[in-house]
Amino acid sequence: MFKNLLILIILNCLAVISFSQTAIEYNESGKKKAIYKNFAGAETDFSKAIELNSKFAEAYYNRGLARRILKKYNEAITDYNKAIELEPKYSAAYYNRGNVYMELKNFLGAINDYSKVIELTPTMSLAYNNRALAKVNIGNFLSAIPDYNKAIELLPKYADAYYNRGIAKFRLGNKPAACVDFQKALDLDFKQAKADIEKYCK
């Protein structure tokens, strides 16, 4: 009896190991499909991984990435929510949920998520830049400037941040400072800045 029970326990353990490995394999397969821009196929594989392991936070996160690209925004948010529920400090999930909120023009939601990213990963320059963009979209130009400053401090050749800070300064009426930022962005090969320099800085 004891021997049979021991065999049953071992078989159950092996089943769990196999179960987890299969979910991992589907997740890896989905990531490979995403690399080759087969996002529908990737979504399917991530869903299979989740079917096999409903606690697989990374699979929810990855499916959220695929669904965002497929413009399934609400479903992507649901996946990011689940990833965060399973792993409350999942910084990348907050960041990408914030990006979806930006696309949906939910700028306050985006600000909240980028702020959480900054709390969890204070050296992530993209989060400061994107939070500033969200602030600009609700007309909070003054509050955006320190975020752009921090993004540039963390990544001194961050052309987008220079350009975006220039826009914020221009909207605040500080044209000379805006033109300095536009020029710096252009020097860093942000070609869009050239039109702004010719229009506003000559």
- Residue 85 in tokens: 């529920």
35 and 115, same domain (yes or no): no
- Determine which helix (DSSP H) or strand (DSSP E) holds 90, and give its type and residue range: none
176 and 117, same domain (yes or no): yes
Residue 80 structural domain: 1-88
7 and 61, same domain (yes or no): yes
185 within some domain: yes
99 within some domain: no
The dihedral formed by the CA atoms of 183, 194, 137 and 161, expressed in degrees to the nearest 10: -40
Q: How confident is the model at residue 3 (pLDDT cuts 50, 70, 90)?
A: very low
- Residue 182 in tokens: 């536009």
Q: In this predicted model, what pLDDT tens digit does every residue of 32-54 receive, in sequence order?
A: 999 999 999 999 999 999 999 99
Q: How confident is the model at residue 202 (pLDDT cuts 50, 70, 90)?
A: confident
Number of domains in the chain: 2
- Using CA atoms, how far apart are residues 97 and 111, in angstroms rounded to an integer? 11
Neighbours of 71 (CB within 10 A): 9
Is the pLDDT reported for residue 13 higher than 90?
Answer: no
- Using CA atoms, how far apart are residues 186 and 85, in angstroms rounded to an integer? 42
User: In terms of pTM, does the model score above 0.85?
Assistant: yes
Q: In this predicted model, what pLDDT tens digit does every residue of 86-140 receive, in sequence order?
A: 999 999 999 999 999 999 999 999 999 999 999 999 999 999 999 999 999 999 9
197 and 153, same domain (yes or no): yes
**Torsion over CA: 45, 48, 54, 55 (sign):** negative
Q: How confident is the model at residue 29, as a pLDDT?
A: 96
Q: How confident is the model at residue 21 (pLDDT cuts 50, 70, 90)?
A: low
Q: In this predicted model, what pLDDT tens digit does every residue of 138-178 receive, in sequence order?
A: 999 999 999 999 999 999 999 999 999 999 999 999 999 99
